[in-house]
Amino acid sequence: MNILVTGGSGFIGSNLCRRLLDEGHYVLCLDNNYTGRMENIQELLTNDHFSFILADVCDSLKDRPELKTQALHLDQIYNLACPASPPAYQGLHAIETTKTCVLGAINVLELALAHGATVLQASTSEVYGDPLVHPQHEGYRGNVNPNGIRACYDEGKRCAESLFFDYARHLGAKIKVIRIFNTYGPFMDPKDGRVVSNFICQALRGEDLTVYGQGEQTRSFCFVDDLIAGMVAMMNSDPEFLGPVNLGNPQEFTIAQLAQQVLEMIPSGAKLVFKDLPQDDPRCRKPDISLAKSKLGWQPHIKLTEGLQRSIPYFAQRLRDDGVQLKAVF
């Protein structure tokens, strides 16, 4: 098939491109490289089944020469285009994040209609906000602060979901919607700002690990290979099943437990330091994946220890490439 991956040079997108190429598909990767990196897809550029398009989903896509129906027929589109890094969307780029969620969704949906392609929206567990229901199931409508510092991402993704379902109801778009819970693994940016990359890189540099609050808030960490398997399963599921469906690892850890696990695996002499909890930081996050199990036959298999073992060497090499002197050897 001909498959477009928007946000394809980012963390999850580049891992998805590899999986699709391994399956023998022709993959078009579209990204503006705001949070994506060409280094993530460098070795793919020599693959005859892969091509890269430097573009922004906030601009119209269906009229781009590379994406016109006369040039090729797209069978599937994965829409992953959006900053997911808290430093990226909580700072000066908050407005751009909302635009990417909303205008990007419209442009991707219009492109999908033009090609008759099935389009998958990568939504997020952030649509549940600071949840009052635990674990979170797809029927829960969330507890989101609509004007807080995270709202550009949380509400942007909620609006994107609304657009997807309205395009399906009123225009016949062929859609799939997933909600991604905390994911980690190779090709994640060391400066991403999320807790797994923060802890690993701090430990490798010999710095103390920064824990917000008392580290009692919980998260469920899914290794990227498991997530990609769920995404592909959802894309190729029964056309009548639109979602949304949670994709994540239901094994729950406190942030303090994660920090201790990293310190055990990276013996650099670092310790924990505690700082004030950020605004609107969710107290708990755990997916109910009953729907994914029943509809997709999917569940994660890679435990946290194994996933960290497979991630730490990647971060160590990235830091070395950036000229960082590591305190721990990997």
Crossing angle of the two packed helices 151-171 and 94-115, in degrees rounded to 10: 20
Least confident of 40-54, 81-95, 226-240, 293-307: 81-95
Q: Is 17 exposed, middle or buried (0-12, 13-18, 19+ CB in 10 A)?
A: buried
Contact 250, 93 (CB under 8 A): no
Among 34, 153, 167, 184, the active-site one is: 153
pLDDT in tens, 9-49: 999 999 999 999 999 999 999 999 988 999 999 999 999 99
Q: What is the pLDDT of residue 329?
A: 63
78 is a catalytic site residue:
no
pLDDT reading at 213 higher than 90? no
Buried b (16+ CB within 10 A) or exposed e, 235-262: bebeeeebbbbbbbbbebbbbbebbbbb
Residues in the chain: 330
Q: What is the pLDDT of residue 84?
A: 79
pLDDT in tens, 279-292: 656 778 899 999 99
Q: C-alpha dihedral over 45, 51, 53, 58, to 10 degrees?
A: -120
Of all helices (H) and strands (E), which one includes residue 301?
Answer: none
Q: What is the pLDDT of residue 228?
A: 98
Amino acid sitting at position 189: D
Instruction: Look at the block and give the residue holding tokens 């997933």.
Output: 178
Query: 160 in helix, strand or coil?
Result: helix
Contact 6, 64 (CB under 8 A): no
Contact 250, 288 (CB under 8 A): yes
Contact 116, 132 (CB under 8 A): no
Contact 177, 165 (CB under 8 A): yes
List, in sequence order, the alpha helices (H) in the chain: 11-22, 86-90, 94-115, 151-171, 195-204, 224-235, 255-265, 290-296, 304-321
Global pTM?
Answer: 0.94
**Beta-carbon contacts of residue 42 (< 8 Å; ≥ 6 apart):** none
Q: What is the pLDDT of residue 267?
A: 86
Task: Using alpha carbons only, give the angle 81, 84, 86 rounded to the nearest 5 degrees.
Answer: 150
Percent of the chain at pLDDT exceeding 70:
96
Q: What is the pLDDT of residue 280?
A: 59
Q: What is the pLDDT of residue 55?
A: 97
Residues paired with residue 123 on neighbouring β-strands, in sequence order: 179
pLDDT in tens, 243-281: 999 999 999 999 999 999 999 999 878 888 888 776 656
111: tokens are: 């492109």
- Mean pLDDT (whole number) for 187-193: 91
